[in-house]
Amino acid sequence: MITTPKPVILLIIDTLMSTPLEEAVQTGHAPALQYLMERGRYFPHVVSSFPTMSVTIESTLLTGEYADKHHLPALIWYHEGENRIVNYGTGVKEIIKTGVSSFVKDMFFELNNVHLSNQVKTIHEELAERKLASASINAFVHRGNTIQQIHLPRILRWMTGFNGTWHIQAPPLWSLGSFSKFNPFTSTPQTFSGNYKAGCKELKHLIKRNKLPPFTMCVIQDLDLRIHLKGPMDLKGIQKIDRQLQKLLNLYSSWEKALKECTWVVLSDNGHASMGNNKHHYVINLRKILKDFAIMKDNNSIPCKDQIALAVNQRMAFVYCLGNGVEKNHILASLKQDKRIDIIAWQEQGLTHVVSGEKDGKFTFSKGGLYQDHYEQTWTITGDERLLDITVKNYKINYGDYPDALARLSSSLTSHKGNYFVITAKPGYEFKDTGSPLHVGGAAHGSLHKQESLVPMIVAGTEVYPKNERIVDFKPWILHLIMNTPLNQ
């Protein structure tokens, strides 16, 4: 007898954080989330991936791998083979700087069809191979086994001059703003993706028409925009999203019936760090720090002269050494002079090296060895482990301010080709390049710190949970819920 799998609904609420979530629940502003927490299980400290930027996190969630395997390094990065900056959408000024046409092609075609490694499989692809359908709503990372034909919205055709048709790899049920939607009456913007109401309406459409597949991933992005401006403790955004969640649960005869018929997973992708109010002090201008070097301008590079390229992801940045007479240790010396820089890391001869602008000392590590962390990963470590807030006792590694620091940091340093540093800013500070969006007096993310790396999750409708409280470990758990595959695969 063939049994129909119980559908899994994965709601990713961009930048939902534990403290404001708990306050919203305690003060009665989020009854739907409260119901799921009380009837299910609440995980307040799930470890995200690094850098803490949405496309990298979504890739980790869907593939079960960190960036060293899925090869989507960050929201903005330097493509060595094409000698250009890839930008998936960091801000209007920066998109204009790197090129609107390049951004549109990178975001809506290259990201899934080219940049996401073909050596890994997404949940959508794994399910398709087993003849099971899946749905993606408002997720920028969505690669599946179904070829979907898309036309750019009118405003993007005008901005880019692209008038043709793109064929992309996606799930059989795919919704992304005005590019594709299930319900023709869903109101969407003419640009990139839908808002929280549009996303929930698309999910509502599937539920009402009994078209819910075994797996649905729906991303709600609006909260991130609010927190960037208003700071981490904004509760109004959570309240608005909860109202939409109530409408979804109300589609069933009772909320209890909703849990019997579906497994509900509410997950955040990253947190935020509050930013200081003084722009001069709390914004780290990398071009000023590295003013003694020839820095690549936009995508108008001069291959024979450029020494450095920059890719700023809010509180994290890549600093690329392009050569042309510059030595890496000279770049390192300039970076170390700024005490606002928290972590400076690079790879050399198979080792990951860590120093700091704020602290003295050096720490070095590599995979494999006598030391083991909570996730059963083994390491060889030497030097001052306090640089990554690590404590060691009886060869057991415990992480402090930087969760799963060794795996996440080393994966970022091997996520794409190039000779580069990974740097992060101290809490309260963020990096700046020409055109970078700034969040003075608000909040920002991107770094390795626990403020951005530990996120909440609510699971209701099942008593089976992931092996570890890390997003990188969720793929086998989700496949197990749907297909009863082994949890430790």
What is the pLDDT, as a whole number, of residue 225? 63
| Cβ atoms of 76 and 316 closer than 8 Å | no
Whether the bond into 51 is cis, omega within 30 of 0: yes
Where do the domains of the chain lie, and which CATH numbers do they carry? 8-72+116-272+448-483 (3.40.720.10), 279-441 (no CATH)
Q: What is the pLDDT of residue 287?
A: 96
Confidence (pLDDT) at 267: 97
Long-range contacts of 358-366 (CB under 8 A, 24+ apart): 358/426, 359/384, 359/386, 359/387, 360/384, 361/386, 361/387, 362/387, 363/387, 363/388, 365/406, 365/410, 366/410
Q: Tell me whether strands 363-373 and 396-399 are parallel, antiparallel or unpaired.
A: parallel
Residue located via tokens 């502003």: 29
Query: What integer pLDDT is reported at residue 270 of this predicted model?
Result: 92
Which residue reads 């800013």 in tokens?
Answer: 425
- What would the two tokens of residue 297 be? 């301008």
Q: What's the pTM?
A: 0.94
pLDDT of residue 303: 76
| Per-residue confidence (pLDDT) for residue 230, from 0 to 100 | 63
Position 346 scores a pLDDT of 98
Pinpoint the alpha helices (H) of 401-457.
405-412, 450-453
Residues of the chain with pLDDT under 70: 1-3, 93, 186-196, 222-233, 299, 488-489
- Please, what is the Cα angle at 82 between 76 and 88, to 5 degrees? 25
Q: What is the pLDDT of residue 1?
A: 40
d(CA 343, CA 359): 9
